[in-house]
Every structure is written in C-alpha cells, then in structure tokens.
Structure 1
Amino acid sequence: MTAELNYLRTWIGRTQAEREFVSPRLAQQLAATLDYEDVPHTGCPLPPLWHWAFFPHIVSQSQVGADGHPTRGGFLPPVPLPRRMWAGSRVRFERPLVVGSEVTRTSQILDVAAKEGRTGKLVFVRLRHELEDLEGPLISEEQDVVYRESATTAYTAATGPTAPTDFTWKREIVPDPVLLFRYSADTFNGHRIHYDRTYAHEQEGYPALVVHGPLTATLLIDLVRRSVPGESIASFSFKAVNPLFDRAPFHLYAARAPGSTEVKLWAANSDGVLCVDAEATLTAPAYVLQK
C-alpha cells in the first residue's frame, strides 16, 4: 500500500473551482424533503447545511460505477478501495446562501492517509471547501471521505458506543425508502446503498437501506433550529460512528446547558447505540422556515 499511498498523496494540494446557481426549485425540493411548509423563494437565505445539495459531481451515465458513484479519478484521487462514505465534516457559517444568487466553491485536497480498521484497510481523504459570493465568504468546510475494502461478511449489528441519555431536545425520525430516495435526488447522490435494497445487502453487506450521514447531520442541525428559532448556528461538526438503516426509527438528541452557546448533538438507533456524534455553536438570530 505504501507505493500506492505515495501516488495518491500526489493529489494533495490540488484545487478545483466551481460556480453554482442557487436554484429556487432545488431549495423548494429540500424544504419538501425536510417537511417544511414554507416555500423558499428568490432572496430567501437557506438554512445551514443545505449547501450540500449544491455543487454535485455530475458525470454522464457511462462514467458511473457499479456502486452508483462516479468512477474514480479526476479531482479526487483514484483510491483502489470499492466502498466510499462521507465520514464527517467541520463547518463554519459566515453568511447563508441566498436563493437566486450565484456562488463559487473552491475545493482543495488537504491530506490522503491510510489506516487499518476493524473492517480492514481504510484510506481517508480530507478536503477543504470555501464558498463565497460577490459579497465575500459564505461557508468554510473541511470534509472527510473514507474508502473501505469490500464487505467479506454480513453486517454485524453495532453494540457500542452507547449514546448519552441526558438531553434537552429530542426528535424521532422514521426513515423510509421515499425519504432516502428524495434526499438522494436532491443531492444528486447515486450511491445505491440508499435506494437499492438488493445491492445494499448483497454487494455491501448491509441489512437494509443506509440513511445518508449528511441527511442525519442536516436533521440534527434542524432539531436545533426548530428548538431555538431565535438563534443561528455559527459552526457545526459531525462524525459518522455507526450506520443507520431504514428498518427502524431512530432518534435525534440535543443537549444544551443553560446560558451556553455550545450544543452537543447525537443520533442513536433503536437500540440506543451512538450512530452520529455532532456539535454546534450558536450565535445571533437567524431566518427560520416555518414547519
């Protein structure tokens, strides 16, 4: 792996700039998927993390791999491991994206590292994304993408770590194939583990459809926004710990000490196992879509 890793590390420092129109229709699709009654219109600021629906990696059908992702290479290094997932992000919000505006995203590969996990070889790619419009910076994000070996055995249910039990706010989510399909469509995410049950089970070893990590993160930040609509979010980070599936409800939690701007967030499956670990920092009032 050393020679391969050295080659993959030649991608460090590569940059890519993209422009995107913040489409009213896509914003409306996201609002519908996340169950808001308000219809975002031109000039409306978008809630935190909705930027993940923009700047998708669009390739022709002939360039899509067996897993539904674009084939390897190009801006991202061609990691020779078949399974890929979004492992986590750290995001700072300067200003929100505005519907109807044009935004530039500049991405840079910060690091490529190999590790040995309990499921085999892992390769982590860390990226930085800077979003800005004509008025200046909007969002700064570091993203972790992990590549894994093929599943050699059936998925074993996670037994830990156990999620915390002290919380301030809580929400139950009942995932279903329609929710997962709609979010995949909103984000132009073709990964088959989110909508193709046979593929998810037979090829990647999962017992059911997998809930998107970014969807869970968005629902966590949404829990905060609904609970304290008079405050906005300055920063957010999340880490995927265990997968969530569409076969059972899961719960979102938020814990905030009185007077604190720090909020601890997590998602747990129906067995109380921690699946997503997150944190948010609150600041000034924000525009709130109505549920």
Structure 2
Amino acid sequence: MSASDRASTSEVRTERITATTVEAYRGTFAAADAALADVDVLPAAWEGVFFPFDAALADLRPDGTPARDGIIPEIDLPRRMYAGETTEFLRPIRVGDDVTRRASLGSVVAKNGSRGRLVFVDVEREYAVDGETAVRTVWHDVFLDAADPDAPARAPRPDPAVVAEADWQEELTLDARQLFRFSALTFNTHLIHYDRAWARDVEGLPDLLVHGPLTRILLMDVARRNTPGRVPVRLDVRATAPVLVDRLLRIVGRTAGDTTRVTAVDPDDVVLATADIDWEPRA
C-alpha cells in the first residue's frame, strides 16, 4: 500500500466528552467509582467509550462489523476479532472537553496460519484537545477464515502462577445486559456480542463474547483502583483467549517498579488477556 493510499484512508471527527456518556459507562461497569462532572479528569482508557462506530447499515458485513468505514479496506475474510491495543496517555482529557479524533490506517499484514488465512490490521487514532494530542492509540484487529466446526478445540493452557504471584485481584461476572449496554454505547453491531446462535453456530464459541475494547477498559480500571495515585503513560493490551458472558472473570495484578502487569483469567487459571501499564515515575 502506497503512502498516498494510506493518506486517503483516514477520518477526522470531533465529539464532546459528555457527563451523560461517562455516567452510562460508570453506572454499568464502574459503580464503585465516584460520579464525574465537567472538568473532572476522564479515567484512562475511557476515551474508548466515545466516538462510536458510524458505518451505515448497508456498509456492514454479515457479522455486523463494518465492511466500509473509510479507513480499513474491504477484506475478503468473514470473521473479525479484536486482538489488542497499544495506548499512550500524553495529557489529561476532561469531562466537557471537545476532542478531535483522527483515525487512519496503520499496517496491514496477511499470513497463513494452521487454521487458514489471517489478515492483521492496525488502526491508528489520535485524540486531541485544543490542538494538542492527549491520547494516541493503535487498535489491533485480525480477520480470519470461517470457523471449522469439525476442527478440534485448542486445549486450554492454565497458568496458576499468574494468580499465585499476584499482589491483588478483583472478580466480576459480565452478563448479557452489560454487553448490550456496551454495544449501545459504542454502536457496536458485531453479532458475536448479542446473538447466541451466531456466536455458537458461526463463530464456534460456547457463548456470547465480551467486547475486547471493554476488556481493555476493565483491565485499566482494576489497575487504577489497586495502584492509587499512579498516573498511566502507556497501556499495552493483548487478547489471548475468548472472554465469555456469564462466567467468572478474575483480574489480577502485580507491580514491579513503574510497571504493572494486569491479567484476566478464567476460573481454571487460563489467561484470557494481559495488559502492561507503565506509570509516571514517582517523584
């Protein structure tokens, strides 16, 4: 892809960080946090609740994800999954700020895996307040071949040491109401989050999938609550296994110096997602 092609695949939008949307997220996923009002600092990663998908219905793929969004080229693979995200926090965003987000296409890499073709796509986003970049993030997606119902399931790989060596942990169980609310907040129409028949029969999952971008925010939220007073400068999230609805999720963490490793594990100690958070050095 040429530099001119990349330059044409971009989008610029401006949106106000409203207390209404902040409260909708807080009241559903972070009720222990204090309510926020104008000029309060937006918690790190909550920018991901804003700038909902806006592809027209005619521009959606059969699975509900955008086929044509002005950024990612059309890819002839039927499944799309969130693989992780790398975020830099450069300055605070506050409730009431008008934020301009520029989204553009990053790398596009095609590979052949043991279960067919894959295309890895990055979307680069910058969130600016008054012309100054506040947050810079790279969203990692992977497009896959159709699921093979006859393919043997991958054996889970428990890692009990992750939990045993943790400094702290929190437990939660996400239900279908919460998945619906996050889909509504972000205008995410991916069927895998609300259509059980699609999730099971087409995607080959046991149940509805928790949104990867939601898991990202939850990992950051738990780390923030358990490391009071620290200011994040970087968040690197990697999704490694499905996070499923109505199943106990444990989020555990361990801090070494100015870095915290946060891990989401299931009741059998299988690692589902990992985040490394770098904090500002202590004074």
Length-normalised TM-score, structure 1? 0.88
Matched ranges for 1:242-257 at <5 A: 242-257=241-256
Contact 1:11 1:76 in 2 (8 A): no
Q: Is 1:147 aligned to residue 143 of structure 2?
A: yes
Q: Match of 2:228?
A: 229
Distance 2:237 2:158 in 1: 16
Q: Match of 2:40?
A: 44
Contact 2:71 2:103 in 1 (8 A): no
Superposed displacement of residue 62, structure 1: 3.6
Matched ranges for 1:79-98 at <5 A: 79-98=75-94
Length-normalised TM-score, structure 2? 0.90
Task: Output the amino acid matched with 2:169.
Answer: K
Structure 1: unaligned runs, 5 residues or longer: 1-5, 286-291
Relative to structure 1, is the Cα distance of residues 10 and 118 closer, same or farther in structure 2, using a 3 angstrom cutoff?
A: farther
Distance 1:138 1:61 in 2: 31
Relative to structure 1, is the Cα distance of residues 48 and 138 closer, same or farther in structure 2, using a 3 angstrom cutoff?
A: same
Task: Output the amino acid matched with 2:156.
Answer: T
User: Structure 1 vs Structure 2: percent identity of aligned residues?
Assistant: 31
Superposed displacement of residue 263, structure 1: 0.6
Tell me the C-alpha RMSD between the 2 structures.
2.2
Write the deviation string for residues 137-189 of structure 1: whole angstroms up to 9, x where unpaired: 20011121111111111682641263623111101121211121111112221
Write the deviation string for residues 102-159 of structure 1: whole angstroms up to 9, x where unpaired: 1111122121101122332110111221111116120011121111111111682641
Q: Match of 2:170?
A: 171
Relative to structure 1, is the Cα distance of residues 161 and 90 closer, same or farther in structure 2, using a 3 angstrom cutoff?
A: farther
Distance 1:73 1:188 in 2: 13
Write the deviation string for residues 15-43 of structure 1: whole angstroms up to 9, x where unpaired: 32221121221111011121325322222
Q: Is 1:104 aligned to residue 106 of structure 2?
A: no
Superposed displacement of residue 261, structure 1: 0.8
Q: Match of 1:29?
A: 24
Distance 2:192 2:97 in 1: 33
SS in 2 for 1:55: coil
Q: Which of 36, 45, 50 is the matching residue for 1:54?
A: 50
SS in 2 for 1:110: strand
Q: Match of 2:13?
A: 18
Distance 2:93 2:202 in 1: 38
Write the deviation string for residues 45-97 of structure 1: whole angstroms up to 9, x where unpaired: 11011111112221333433321223336321101111112211111101222
Q: Match of 2:260?
A: 263
Distance 1:136 1:39 in 2: 26
Q: Is 1:159 aligned to residue 170 of structure 2?
A: no
Structure 2: unaligned runs, 5 residues or longer: none
Over 4 Å off, 4+ runs: none
Contact 1:92 1:141 in 2 (8 A): yes
Q: Is 1:239 aligned to residue 234 of structure 2?
A: no
Q: Match of 2:194?
A: 195
Superposed displacement of residue 218, structure 1: 1.1
Task: Output the amino acid matched with 2:47.
Answer: H
